[in-house]
Amino acid sequence: MTTTDTIIPKVHFTDLGLIDYQQAWDYQEELFKFNVDAKIENRKAEQTVTETTNHLLFCEHPHVYTLGKSGDETHLLLSEALLKQKGATYYKINRGGDITYHGPGQIVGYPILDLDYFFTDIHKYLRYLEEIIILTLADYGIKAGRYEGYTGVWLDADDPLKARKICAMGVRCSRWVTMHGFAFNINPDLEYFNNIVPCGISDKQVTSLEKELNRKVDVEEVKEKLKKHFTQLFEVDLVLSK
């Protein structure tokens, strides 16, 4: 290999479809643990014994609320009985951030990446995830951006009275291995956000691509755009997992 050759990281892509939250979380943990354990083993051996692997998972979840490790439980506005009535579940999880909702019509993305392949900067990583969503929204003629002091992707972020969130984010990172990720509202039932204080922010609205365009959007089409922007921004070879 010459000095001008560049190794392009490989990222394995899997679309899990509609999947129970706990099942997807367990799978993430399995991939995450493999990478963390490999890095510990490699460090002890002072050489690469086991190669880490990079993954991008897409899925949708049945109605579920998840609370990050720094979140406030009072931001869930439903009792256990009302949760059951709404057909929703609730989990306290190990990502950053507060409470959010996942449900059908929302694309949830879980990158399990070894950032040593890319850059060891978690803030830059979050900005990259946001940029993927911003570029995808631009494909639909929607100008999106960041709201100062908060993660995620917003519309009319420069106007506090109009600012509304279209994509929430929360990640976990250990030994520069990531898990969890983003939740991008395409065609979800936005009424479910009324049962929480989304991301702990009480004075801002949540929106969706459907609401902004005033039409249903092809979720598979959006996934393709997300994959394209992910591949270009992270400069990776995205391969379909079997």
Angle at the Cα of 122 (from 32 to 56), degrees rounded to 5? 40
Beta bridge partners of 12: 55, 239
Q: 33: part of which helix (H) or strand (E)?
A: helix 21-45
φ, ψ of residue 5 to 5 degrees: the values are -70, 140
Q: Say if residue 2's pLDDT is above 70.
A: no
The model's confidence at residue 242, banded by pLDDT at 50, 70 and 90, is low
Mean pLDDT of 51-58: 97
Average pLDDT for 130-146: 98
User: d(Cα 110, Cα 167) in Å, to the nearest integer?
Assistant: 13
Sort 56 into a burial class: Cβ within 10 Å, 0-12 / 13-18 / 19+: buried
The reported pLDDT for the residue numbered 68 is: 92
Residue 3, pLDDT score: 41
What whole-number distance in Å separates Cα of residue 184 and Cα of residue 137? Answer: 10
Residue with tokens 């059951």: 84
pLDDT in tens, 23-41: 999 999 999 999 999 999 9
Would you call 159 exposed, middle or buried from its count of C-beta atoms within 10 A (0-12, 13-18, 19+)? Answer: exposed
Are 152 and 165 spatial neighbours (Cβ–Cβ below 8 Å)? yes
> 54 vs 3, which has greater pLDDT?
54
Give percent above pLDDT 90 in the chain. Answer: 89
Read off the pLDDT of each residue in 126-148 and give the average, rounded to a whole number. 97
Asked whether the predicted pLDDT for residue 5 surpasses 80, the reply is no
User: Which position among 59, 167, 173, 199 bears the catalytic label?
Assistant: 199
Tens-place pLDDT, residues 168-181: 999 999 999 999 99
State yes or no: is 173 an active-site residue. Answer: no
User: pLDDT tens-digit profile of 106-121?
Assistant: 999 999 999 999 999 9
Cβ-contact 229, 132 below 8 angstroms? yes
The token pair at 103 is 């449900």
The Cα–Cα gap between 83 and 104 comes to 16
The pLDDT score that the predictor gives to residue 180 is 97
Mean pLDDT along residues 91-95 = 94
Mean pLDDT of the chain: 94
Q: Tell me the domains of the chain and their CATH numbers.
A: 10-240 (3.30.930.10)
Provide the pairing of β-strand 237-240 with 99-102. unpaired
pLDDT on residue 4: 43
